Chains A and B, each alone.
Chain A
Amino acid sequence: MLRTFFRSSTPLTLRRISASPVAARSASTFIGRQSFTPMRFYSAGAAKLDKDEVTRRVIDVIKAFGKSNAAATITPTTLFNKDLGLDSLDTVELLVAVEEEFDIEIPDKIADELKSVAETVDYITSNADAN
């Protein structure tokens, strides 16, 4: 629709400033260029999150969480309930912290199935809204 507008408005503009041929030419090039201006959308896909970066941030969240047995080194294979000693309530709380870090909302059913660092990282990288 925008393009049609430019197309129909071009001759009008040219007619109005046709007194000076130089001005008319510059105006037409200006309008011509503008109609090809690439548009950007708010919903344009953001750069995909790097998996290593996500892993690092998830591990940071777990470390900051405090309740876990932070003495144990956290790797992607770390299990929430076995290695970190978290019960189901603690896991929910940890996932709320993760949600806040990445600005997402993990649906309850999926959250219940996330049991390790790697699974959480996989979910975040597959979620387009995460940032």
Chain B
Amino acid sequence: MPATPSRLQVLSLYKQFIRNSNQFNNFNFREYFLRISREKFKENAPIQDKEKVAKLYEAAQRDLGVLKRQKLISQMYTFDKLVVESAKDQGDSRS
């Protein structure tokens, strides 16, 4: 049985998810991964069963690996900003 992760380990994993998701170049992927990371962690937060937590932690670590790779690939291929993004930036600069 894999070791149960501590509170700090889980928070650290969440931090890495958020940080890596933030680094996606593509707006759609970035928002998607941020949303899915938040949702999954929130959803699984109340789980107390140690075995279940350990399993989820392992799965999340594998996912983080995938996320990191995809983030790098996303940074190799950059596209023009989407209409929503430039509208957002203009809104920011105006305010």
**What is the CB-to-nearest-CB distance from B40 to chain A, in angstroms, rounded to a whole number?**
10
Contacts of B22 in A (CB 8 A): 96, 100
What CA separation (Å) do A100 and B19 show in the bound complex? 9
B11 engages A89 (CB within 8 Å): yes
Residues of the A chain whose Cβ atoms lie less than 8 Å from the Cβ of B41: 89
A contact residues, range: 10 to 19
Size class of B's contact patch?
10 to 19
Contacts of B19 in A (CB 8 A): 96
Interface residue ranges, A against B (CB under 8 Å): 87-89, 92-93, 95-96, 100, 108-109, 111-112
Query: Which residues of B, 1-24, contact A by the 8 Å Cβ criterion?
Result: 7-8, 11-12, 14-15, 18-19, 22
| Min CB–CB distance B7 → chain A (angstroms) | 8
Q: Which residue of A lies closest to B45 (CB)?
A: A89
In the complex, are the beta carbons of A88 and B11 less than 8 A apart? yes
- Distance A108 CA – B42 CA, assembled complex (angstroms): 19
